[in-house]
A = this chain, B = another copy of it.
Amino acid sequence: MRAPTKQTTNRVTSYDVAKLAGVSQPTVSRAFTPGASITKDKRDRVLAAAKQLSYLPNSIARSLASNRSNIVAVIVGDMHNPFYAESLQAFMMRLQETGRHALAFTISDGLDCDDALMQALGYHVDGVVVTSAHLSSDLISTSQDVGIPIVLFNRRTTDRALASVRCDNETGAARLARGMCDAGGGEFLIIRGDPQGSTSRDRVNGFRSELEARGIAPGRVEEIDGKSSYAGSYDAILSRFKGRSPSFPDAIFAVNDIMAIGCADALRREFGLSIPGDIMLAGFDGVREATRAPYELTTIRQPVDIMVEKTLELLEGRQTGTLDEADKSLVVSGELIAGKTVPGLAAAEEKGGSQA
């Protein structure tokens, strides 16, 4: 019951529609442009013809002509970390809501962040969001030559002025440290993530600073590498405490939730410990998984939706909020999720502050 279009396979263009509707080609273009000056009558005629021919405006051609792709590249590091899966999801949704789309890249063995950025730039995307990993200075300057804005998400960089959006990692981690001290922590273990990444570093620093401020000697704070992943954290805990007669710390701070989850599973499964009965635990990110029954993790929730919104605003040059002058980063504050893995925190929150 479809119209007897002449083309055998595909490729209906605005000219075909124009001919059928009895208008010029640019008029067809206008009919598909919201807010263009065109009479309702013509627009209707064009749309009818378009429907009849199964015409769809070619976004590729539009991009070329308008020099705007409506595509934002999103480079995401580790999709196995639910925080990044959630973030990608949030970017997709927000972009779609505003008529744009996400060209998604993942970092893997074969493709590092520079490669991904390079390829993204080739599409002349409207912007690039980098959620993880390192960018070489070379690539950054290339992107500036090409005129494509980049914003780092949940990362910052000191060596170069590159816009970024992140959570207040230091303060959040300090809040957790305070809670753990209040709950009686004396010996601490930190499971760090990527030592190269600013996020892990900032959280570790925030945590340690607060401990020092509380009079905890640095010697009572150990640090191990959880490789930013569930398995990395699980294995790190296992190999750290296996064999010797284990002497566990009072409290563990995993630099992100997925490592906290891996840590919790390891502590229970491998050592039969209970949380927080035997040992306190806190994470960071506030992913869904962390709130589930086996964990109910004490953590700091990153406000992903807000961060995504801010990131896209920065890409567009719009800019709400105050940029940190030093490093061009926009910092939003995290929300303490009391959870149940640090005793006393929930009550403290209700009273609106620390019970120091």
Residues of A within 8 A of B (CB): 2, 5, 9-12, 54, 56-61, 63-64, 69, 71, 74, 79-80, 82, 85-86, 88-89, 92-93, 96-97, 101-106, 108, 110-111, 116, 118-119, 121-124, 141-142, 145-148, 230, 261, 265-266, 268-269, 288-289, 292-294
Q: Knowing A60-B124, A93-B108, A101-B105, say if A145 contacts B88 (CB, 8 Å).
A: no
Contact A292–B230 (Cβ < 8 Å) = yes
Contact A89–B64 (Cβ < 8 Å) = no
Number of copies: 2
Contact B104–A102 (Cβ < 8 Å) = yes
Contact A97–B110 (Cβ < 8 Å) = yes
Give me 17 other A-B pairs in contact (C-beta within 8 A), A56-B142, A58-B124 excluded: A2-B145, A56-B122, A58-B64, A74-B104, A79-B89, A79-B92, A80-B89, A80-B288, A92-B104, A96-B108, A97-B110, A101-B103, A101-B123, A230-B292, A261-B292, A266-B293, A268-B294
Report the minimal beta-carbon distance from A138 to chain B, rounded to whole angstroms. Answer: 10
A57: which B residues are within 8 A, CB to CB?
A: 122
Which 6 A-B residue pairs are closest in the complex by CB-CB distance?
A10-B147, A54-B145, A265-B293, A79-B89, A269-B293, A104-B104
Q: CA A195 – CA B74 in complex, angstroms?
A: 33
A9: which B residues are within 8 A, CB to CB?
A: 147
Contact B60–A69 (Cβ < 8 Å) = yes
Report the minimal beta-carbon distance from A13 to chain B, rounded to whole angstroms. Answer: 11
Report the minimal beta-carbon distance from A67 to chain B, rounded to whole angstroms. Answer: 8
Q: CA A141 – CA B96 in complex, angstroms?
A: 24
11 contacts between A and B (CB under 8 A): A10-B147, A10-B148, A56-B118, A56-B121, A56-B122, A59-B122, A79-B92, A82-B82, A96-B108, A96-B119, A103-B104
Q: Knowing A59-B124, A80-B288, A292-B230, say if A106 contacts B93 (CB, 8 Å).
A: yes
Q: B101, B110, B292: which contacts A119 (Cβ < 8 A)?
A: B101
A71: which B residues are within 8 A, CB to CB?
A: 103
Q: B64, B93, B105, B116: which contacts A60 (Cβ < 8 A)?
A: B64
Contact A79–B69 (Cβ < 8 Å) = no
A93: which B residues are within 8 A, CB to CB?
A: 106, 108, 110
A124: which B residues are within 8 A, CB to CB?
A: 58-60
Contact A106–B89 (Cβ < 8 Å) = yes
